[in-house]
Amino acid sequence: MLQVRNLRVSYDGVLAISKVDIDVGAGKLVALVGGNGNGKSTTLRAIAGLNLPDNGKIIFNNNEIQDTPAHLRVPLGLSLVPEGRRIFARLTVQRNLELGAYTRHDAHEVRESVDSMYTLFPILKERRSQLAGTMSGGEQQMLAIGRGLMAKPKLLLLDEPSWGIAPKFVTKVLDTIQMVNSRGVSVLLVEQSLHKALAIADYGYVIQTGRIVMQGTGKDLLNNDEIKKAYLGL
Amino acid sequence: MSEILVQTLVSGLLIGLIYALVAIGLTMIFGVMDIINFSHGEFLMFGMYSSFWLYTLYAFDPIVTLPLTALFLFGLGVIVYKLVISKITNAPMVSQIFTTFGLMLLFRGIAQFFWKPDFRTIGHTMVSGSFSVGGIQIGTPQLTAGVGAILVTAGIYLFITKTRLGAALEATAADKEAARLMGIDSQKMFALAWGIGAACAGVAGVLLSTFFPIFPDVGANFILIAFVVVNLGGFGSIVGALVAGILVGVIEVMGGFLLGPQYKLAIVLVLFLAVLMFRPQGLMGKA
Amino acid sequence: MSLLSVRNVTKKFGGITANQDVSFSLDAGQIVGLIGPNGAGKTTMFNCIAGYFPPTAGEIYLNDVNIAGLSPEQCARAGIARTFQVARTFTSMTALENVMVGAFLHNKNVRAAREAAAELLGFVNLGKFRDKPAASMTISEQRRLAVARALAVNPKLLLMDEVMAGLNPTEVKETVEVVLKIRDRGISCLIVEHVLEGIMPIANAIVVLDYGKKIADGTPQAISNDPQVIAAYLGDE
Amino acid sequence: MSNNAVIPQPVEPLSVLPGKSANLGYLLILALLIFACFVPLFVDSPSHQNVAILVLMAAQMGVAWNIVGGYAGQVSLGHAAFYGIGAYTSTLLFAKFGLNPWVSMLAGGALAALVSVVIGWSCFRLKGHYFAMATIAVAEIIQIIFTNWEFAGSAVGLTIPMDKEGWDVFVFASKVPYYYIALGLLIATLLANLVIDRSFYGYYFRAIKDEPDAARSLGVNLRKYKLIAFAVSSFFTALGGSFYAQKELYIDPASVLSTGLSIKMALVSILGGIGTLFGPVLGAGILTLIDEGTRALFGGTGRGTDLIIYAALIIAVAVYYPNGVMGWFRSLMSRRQAAQSQAAKGELA
Amino acid sequence: QQEIKIGVIYPLTGAAASSGAEMKSALELAVDIINNGAKSVPNLPFSEGGGLPNLKGAKIKLVFADHQGNPQAGATEAERLITQEKVVAIVGAYSSNVTATASQIAERYKIPFINPESSSASLTERNFKWFFRTTAHDDLFVHNFFEFFKELEAKKGIKVKRLAAFNENTLWGNETSKLETKLAAERGYDLTKVISYPAKSTQLTSEVQLLKAAAPQVVMQSSYLGDAIMAMKTYKELGFSPDMILANNSGFTDTEFIRTLGKDAEFVITRDVWSLDLAKNNPLIKEVNDLFFERNKINFTGNSARTFTGLMTLADAINRAGSTEPEAIRKALIQTNIPGNKIIMPWKGIKFDNKGQNVYGSGILVQIIDGKYNTIWPFDLATRDVVWPMPKWDQRK
Ligand SMILES: Nc1ncnc2c1ncn2[C@@H]1O[C@H](COP(=O)(O)OP(=O)(O)OP(=O)(O)O)[C@@H](O)[C@H]1O
Ligand SMILES: Nc1ncnc2c1ncn2[C@@H]1O[C@H](COP(=O)(O)OP(=O)(O)OP(=O)(O)O)[C@@H](O)[C@H]1O
Ligand SMILES: [Mg+2]
Ligand SMILES: [Mg+2]
């Protein structure tokens, strides 16, 4: 479904990632993990089209999309829930969700999707007409995920969805992701917390200083000694 | 005496609606892009000249050519966006001010180059003249402009709150990168905002041209008031611009009458500052 | 006598009550955790203590002086330093200069401030970023920078808002060590955190908020077994 | 698959103009200033000297504006108010009360600083565009007051008699003394800027500009330090205004209190590089030369050609160098450095 | 062959640019006549062409500069013209505040400065040695107003009592207001209202309402074109009908004024310095105007006619000096004595007093009747009788 080949991105001439290869198969949940500032977000942003790569290929459903502008990647079935939520602070919760479905044209279906989001996140329903910016950090994260799902993506890119979320809800968020995945949406999940992400992932990549240094099934990686040493503090 | 006061009030109301009309385009651009367009008065000027030339060369009445001018100005707004503004969307606020200030000078220069610095006016139009209601005189051009202002405000308000494109515009205004992730082409939205903003100025220009002289620097007469209106109403708020426009018009005319015409602008400015002290975000601005 | 004593604080935003009648206290040399579900009012409580919002009702005592309603800069002078949920780095400055801004509170001498700042950068393990533009640091590094910056004002009490968010376990460990070192300097810490692995082992006490109200208050041990807290926040693992 | 897990090492970010090249910058500035001292020796056409003075005046305005607009990030578009207060105070004291013009000039500066504190006290709760607009409004109000104030000459303006000349009356037939006074003013303003930049004020100002809320948490009293920046900036702006009055010997509200002038002060800084010490000086040079040049070359055509060219150049600069000439220079330097350091480290792979 | 460079400083861009453009055309005509001749105006000095005879047919070359309405730019341009372009004299600068600064520079460099049209009285109160003004100034013009009232009463039995002053709040309008206030008091008129309105107004409703409330017989008004048109429209709209609108030139004499307002412009009286119908007394007026019309498709106005006259006066002085030495030109200017029939102004001639003011300059009053400006005062020059009172708006056809 998604193939990233030899991707290289830099900010103002400073290299952030290079030679990144990632594959996400149809219906798979793939995790991209790594410490702070190692290029996870950069990778996702490049896939979503927010950063243009210096070179490399991004192939989505057999189309090369590395030169496609970000807004045209959404209708292809790519949706990114960005780092730091980026919800529309001055719009209501409801309108945020509706905007998530901007590329969909069936008003009725969109309304149904909104309702299903409310079922998924009851807190959002409570706050449907509140301005999104006045909600707490965690509430905003729920909204961001809901909004990302509203595009009915084939591949959902999630950048640290559990960031700033209460433990009780972290599990819930991860469950939600698994559920979405089980309905056939492929997921590329970026997380800091290795064990949580790898525990639910079919496959995982470890990124370090802008390069993929390890990959394998989630279980394999979790049991890898070096990983344990470097990331799990054991 | 009281008749004079009522007359003054009515006149203030009518001019206030025109201020609102001029300001709506400005607030639109600001709301979506966070850019203060110093050249907004010059879009108004182009609208006036468009109306003037269509009238002078082809004898078309300004009211008839209004849609044409609006369309023309929409195009101009989009072109200006594509050629200039699109390159500074991420620049610091000060360089944006710098750029639109440059555009202001450029447009004045262009107008003078092609159309000479002369003052021009449009003679008799469909809306010339005035009528009296219970002893209160109302200028037909002013009234037409006032009605135009209300219609445009309503139209834009509905467009933004009720249409998909309007929602996209608002999303882009809030966070353009996030909007792109929703599949919204932010460049297109910005161009649209400039188009609509310029078209509003164009409509205002046409309506003004039926009773106000036309010259290359005419924008200078309106821009400060437009800024005040936009700011008083709250940057980006369409309804705020309407309310503030009326308020400014009435205060200016009434204040000038009661306290001395040489201070009429000062009165408006003092009140404006006073409001900002209590509502830093303007009357209808979001905090 | 407690260093900080929050008494019956209520904070409303229009119709929303973000904090309702919250009371708790913190003794000198303590680490206290403030936890609770999203939107429980933790950041709001910080803002009230640090002077960003005047509480709608209630008092906040620092060493028996009511500081409720003081401005943030007055609170800083009184000895309260804080970090923000988003880092709020001074992006046009280097890491060192960021910390220097804090150091100027008590000493306007540039050289002295530079020395103090350099020491603090080392203290939070950011020594190598000294002359790097702070904007080039990652988010979590910037959060740690904010801690150094806050320490530079020589606070009695440090409020930290989610400094461990987004860290991997190794990094969490590092940060925990930093917090302990801060306490060893005699600075009390009030910490908002969702990363319980980070806060639970080191806190003297935990305060739990839910829907703006305090639902529990006690040792980490007691809190993790409190059924109300489990229901509202921890969830059953 | 590779197994060589390394402990994460963030990509080395680069620093902007580190110590050495900053010192080089100061040396360059010093060299330029020394050069400036000798300009009248080889530029003997009074008209060219006049243009040089205009450059210095614009530079001084820009540098003064930059203290509050650049360093402290409070974009004032009403600085003409202070320029005008300076010009009017010194002219009134000198022409009407016979006070020594140099003393009058300082009095003008002090008064402007005082007024700026009053204005700032109320306007500093406003942010960004709201603040900018409020300053425009305040300056307009002040212009209206002067236009109607009989004692200050109202719309007619004030004239300084040119019958006496010399250092005691601050009126000269030759351009050379004006040149050196303007240069002195510029250097004084630059020095004030430098002192601020190097002391805790500079740090506080930039902190306020970057993240006001965070600055408050560190005990920075926003209003106090914004007011200090505003007052210092206004003081020097007013000195520039007094100088203008002594040079042109005639002032009226339209020429020393207009919003156009306020914007020009900002333009000078922006063009050169906002928040940099030397940027406004560069900007002033460029802007004045373009302005005078286009007017001299095309002004006589009467078709507005000069305006068109001037405006087109402004726009081109703003679009292609949004951070000003200094910003462009810096990014050039840092890009070169990045290339070098990357070359040194070898490709990241 | 020698070329005489004369610097010319006018507002070619900015708010006053439209006036600047007209004056530029007038100067170009004057130079063309001097250099290349004009057979149709044999009585005009230098109309035989071939440059200045006393300087072996030296031709005049104008160097134009734009002051944009900005006093500093005016001074800068003056300095440039003198030191770079080496002009021997300067003509300018229309806007009184720019004339003030530009003439200071000329004074410094000891270069003659001819000012054909700035009307601020203070300009010739500065004891300058190199400043010469050919036009009369506001002091005289405002005096004209009051002489007109006096003569109206004495000769036509029309009694004017209640006045209002309605002037733009700029240097020009402000000086006018002050003088009107002073003279009204001195001569026993009842000045019911003095209104200063800000330049660049978007509406004049409050002003007109105040006038209406004061109900004067005569409104004395100083406005530029845009405001003049706006004021007239507002008068009509709000039904304000004084017996007389007595305007102080500028907007009310602009070509566009009548064209725009059409019938609504009727009966306005305005002070002027020139009018086409004066050709009756001085054929030169029509002949030169024809040349101007041929080139520019517009008639002279008070401004352009004065500017034309200013340059002719300077040429006369340079010719008599027989030299381009500034001092020689200045001496010649001091001795200027051009008779009224050699100029296109309705003046007795041109002769400067020791302040540099032309003592023969004077104003006229014209009234718009049948879409044309008709001289109505001084009564001996009048081509039509004054219409008094102005018909009320609702009683017009
Ligand atoms: N906008 C930017 N400008 C310059 N450099 C950047 C920018 N964004 C990221 N970087 C740099 O690129 C590198 C990779 O950053 P990225 O945000 O992709 O890391 P990450 O793995 O997502 O980290 P985190 O866990 O903190 O989110 C870092 O060194 C960072 O400093
Ligand atoms: N300025 C404000 N205006 C209106 N409501 C606000 C404002 N600030 C916070 N709130 C509301 O107050 C409640 C508490 O918010 P707060 O930010 O304190 O939560 P929190 O406990 O810090 O949550 P999180 O862990 O998600 O950061 C939320 O429901 C939020 O929507
Ligand atoms: Mg990231
Ligand atoms: Mg929070």
Best CA proximity match to D66, nearest among D52, D76, D55, D56: D76
CB contact under 8 A, C194 and A193: no
pLDDT digits (tens, 9 = 90+) for C43-78: 999 999 999 999 999 999 999 899 999 999 999 999
Signed CA dihedral, B62, B66, B68, B71: sign only: positive
Look at phi and psi of residue B41 and say left if phi exceeds 0, alpha if psi is from -120 to 50, else beta. Answer: alpha
* Residue pair E148/E269 in contact by the 8 Å Cβ criterion: no
Question: D263 CA to middle of ligand 3, Å?
Answer: 41
Distance CA B225, CA B232 (A): 10
Neighbouring chains of A at 3+ CB pairs within 8 Å?
B, C, D
**What is the pLDDT, as a whole number, of residue D3?**
38
Mean pLDDT of the region C153-171? 85
pLDDT digits (tens, 9 = 90+) for E18-36: 889 899 999 999 999 999 9
In a domain, A102, yes or no: no
pLDDT digits (tens, 9 = 90+) for B14-69: 999 999 999 999 998 988 888 889 999 999 999 999 999 999 999 899 989 999 99
Better-scored residue on pLDDT, B92 or C82:
C82
pLDDT at A194 over 80: no
pLDDT band at D186 (very low <50, low <70, confident <90, very high): very high
pLDDT at C236 over 60: no
Neighbouring chains of C at 3+ CB pairs within 8 Å?
A, D
User: For E255, what's the count of Cα atoms within 13 Å in the CB-facing half-sphere?
Assistant: 16
pLDDT band at D277 (very low <50, low <70, confident <90, very high): confident
User: What are B136's strand-pairing partners?
Assistant: B133
Q: Which chain A residues are within 8 Å of B174, Cβ to Cβ?
A: 88-91
Judge if the upstream peptide bond of residue E328 is cis by omega within 30 degrees of 0. Answer: no
Question: A163 CA to middle of ligand 3, Å?
Answer: 10
Report the mean per-residue pLDDT for chain E.
92
**Which value, to the nearest 10 degrees, does the dihedral of the CA atoms of residues C145, C146, C152, C154 take?**
-140
Q: How many CB atoms lie within 10 A of CB E390?
A: 18
**What is the pLDDT, as a whole number, of residue A230?**
65
Residues of chain B with pLDDT > 90, as a percent, come to 55
**What is the pLDDT, as a whole number, of residue C1?**
66
Better-scored residue on pLDDT, E391 or D337:
E391
3-state secondary structure of E364: strand
Residues of chain C with pLDDT > 90, as a percent, come to 62
**What is the pLDDT, as a whole number, of residue C15?**
78
Q: Which chain D residue lies closest to B282 (C-alpha atoms)?
A: D130
pLDDT at D279 over 90: no
Question: C119 CA to middle of ligand 3, Å?
Answer: 29
Residue D204: its H or E element: helix D200-210
Least confident of B48-52, D18-22, E176-180: D18-22
Residues 240-279 in B contacting D (C-alpha not used; CB under 8 Å): 262-263, 265-266, 269-270, 272-273, 276-277
B128-137 long-range contacts (CB < 8 A, ≥24 apart) are B128/B210, B130/E236, B130/E237, B135/B3, B136/B3, B136/B6, B136/B7, B136/B10, B137/B7, B137/E237, B137/E238, B137/E239
Best CA proximity match to C34, nearest among C219, C212, C207: C207
Mean pLDDT of the region E59-87? 93
Domain span including residue A57: 2-87+153-230
pLDDT band at B248 (very low <50, low <70, confident <90, very high): very high
**What is the pLDDT, as a whole number, of residue B45?**
96
Q: Which chain D residues are within 8 Å of A206, Cβ to Cβ?
A: 5
pLDDT band at D344 (very low <50, low <70, confident <90, very high): low
Residue B109: its H or E element: helix B93-115
Q: From C12, C43, C83, C195, give the residue whose CB has the most ligand 2 atoms within 8 Å, as the site to mutate.
A: C43
pLDDT band at C147 (very low <50, low <70, confident <90, very high): very high
B139 close contact with E: CB closer than 8 A: yes
Q: From D11, D14, D334, D335, give the residue whose CB has the most ligand 1 atoms within 8 Å, as the site to mutate.
A: D11
For D304, which of E13, E120, E126 is closest by C-beta distance?
A: E13
**What is the pLDDT, as a whole number, of residue D230?**
96
pLDDT at E171 over 60: yes
B281 close contact with E: CB closer than 8 A: no
Report the mean per-residue pLDDT for chain D.
85
pLDDT band at A179 (very low <50, low <70, confident <90, very high): confident
* Residue pair B246/B229 in contact by the 8 Å Cβ criterion: no
**What is the pLDDT, as a whole number, of residue A231?**
62
Mean pLDDT of the region E202-213? 91
Mean pLDDT of the region E100-128? 93
Mean pLDDT of the region D221-234? 95
A52 close contact with B: CB closer than 8 A: no
pLDDT band at D5 (very low <50, low <70, confident <90, very high): very low
pLDDT band at B5 (very low <50, low <70, confident <90, very high): confident
**What is the pLDDT, as a whole number, of residue D18?**
39
Mean pLDDT of the region D29-45? 84
CATH of the domain at A10: 3.40.50.300
**What is the pLDDT, as a whole number, of residue D19?**
43
Better-scored residue on pLDDT, B43 or B157:
B43
**What is the pLDDT, as a whole number, of residue E154?**
92
pLDDT at D337 over 70: no
CB contact under 8 A, B99 and D315: yes
In a domain, A12, yes or no: yes
Residues 6+ apart with CB under 8 A from A106: none
pLDDT at D38 over 90: no
**Which value, to the nearest 10 degrees, does the dihedral of the CA atoms of residues E146, E149, E150, E154 take?**
170
**What is the pLDDT, as a whole number, of residue E78?**
95
pLDDT at B272 over 80: yes
Residue with tokens 């050289």: C111
The ligand placed nearest to the CA atom of residue C140 is 1
**What is the pLDDT, as a whole number, of residue D8?**
32
Structure tokens at E201: 């107004």
pLDDT at E197 over 60: yes
CB contact under 8 A, D75 and B93: yes
Mean pLDDT of the region E142-158? 93
pLDDT digits (tens, 9 = 90+) for E259-285: 888 889 999 999 999 999 888 888 999
Better-scored residue on pLDDT, C5 or D33:
C5
Distance CA C150, CA A169 (A): 30
Q: Work out the minimum CA distance from B276 to partner chain E, whole angstroms.
A: 24
CB contact under 8 A, C113 and D219: no
* Residue pair B176/B193 in contact by the 8 Å Cβ criterion: no
Mean pLDDT of the region B156-175? 88
Size (chain E), residues: 397
**What is the pLDDT, as a whole number, of residue D347?**
44
* Residue pair B48/B205 in contact by the 8 Å Cβ criterion: yes
**What is the pLDDT, as a whole number, of residue D234?**
97
CB contact under 8 A, A208 and D5: yes
Ligand 2 contact via C195 beta carbon (within 6 Å): no
pLDDT at B178 over 50: yes
Q: How many CB atoms lie within 10 A of CB B270?
A: 17
Residue with tokens 């001496």: E331
Helices then strands, counting H and E runs in chain B, come out as 11, 2
pLDDT digits (tens, 9 = 90+) for B91-148: 888 888 889 999 999 999 999 899 988 888 887 888 788 888 888 888 888 899 889 9
pLDDT digits (tens, 9 = 90+) for E337-349: 999 999 999 999 9
Signed CA dihedral, B175, B177, B183, B189: sign only: positive
Q: Which chain C residues are within 8 Å of A172, Cβ to Cβ?
A: 235
pLDDT at D16 over 50: no
Q: Work out the minimum CA distance from E150 to partner chain D, whole angstroms.
A: 29
pLDDT at D188 over 70: yes
**What is the pLDDT, as a whole number, of residue E344?**
94
Question: D213 CA to middle of ligand 3, Å?
Answer: 24
Q: How many CB atoms lie within 10 A of CB A104?
A: 17
Q: Between chain A and chain C, how many beta carbons pairs sit less than 8 Å apart?
A: 88
Mean pLDDT of the region E316-324? 94
Residues of chain A with pLDDT > 90, as a percent, come to 34
**What is the pLDDT, as a whole number, of residue C88?**
87
Amino acid (1-letter code) at residue A26:
A
The ligand placed nearest to the CA atom of residue A139 is 2
Report the mean per-residue pLDDT for chain B.
90
Chains E and B touch (3+ CB pairs under 8 A): yes
What are the φ/ψ torsions at residue E76 (nearest 5 degrees)?
Answer: -60, -45
CB contact under 8 A, A164 and C37: no
Distance CA E253, CA E255 (A): 6
Angle between helices B93-115 and D128-148 (to 10 degrees): 50
pTM of the model: 0.88
Q: What is the number of structural domains in chain A?
A: 1
**What is the pLDDT, as a whole number, of residue A10?**
84
Residues of chain D with pLDDT > 90, as a percent, come to 46
Mean pLDDT of the region D185-197? 93
pLDDT digits (tens, 9 = 90+) for A1-14: 899 999 999 887 67
Helix, strand, coil: what percent of chain E each, to 5?
Answer: 45, 20, 35
ipTM of the complex as predicted: 0.87
**What is the pLDDT, as a whole number, of residue D12?**
33
**What is the pLDDT, as a whole number, of residue B254?**
92
Mutation site for A-interface testing, chosen from D2, D3, D7, D11 by largest number of A Cβ within 10 Å? D11
Distances (CA, A) of E172 to C223, D270, E163, E226: 83, 36, 19, 16
Question: D10 CA to middle of ligand 1, Å?
Answer: 9
Q: Which atom of ligand 1 is nearest to the CA of A210?
A: 14
Residues of chain A whose beta carbon is less than 8 angstroms from a beta carbon of chain C are 14, 35-37, 84, 123, 134-139, 141, 160, 163-172, 192-194, 230-233
For D206, which of C76, C92, C108 is closest by C-beta distance?
A: C92
A229 close contact with B: CB closer than 8 A: no
pLDDT at B205 over 90: yes
Chain-centroid distance, C-alpha A16:
19
pLDDT band at C137 (very low <50, low <70, confident <90, very high): confident
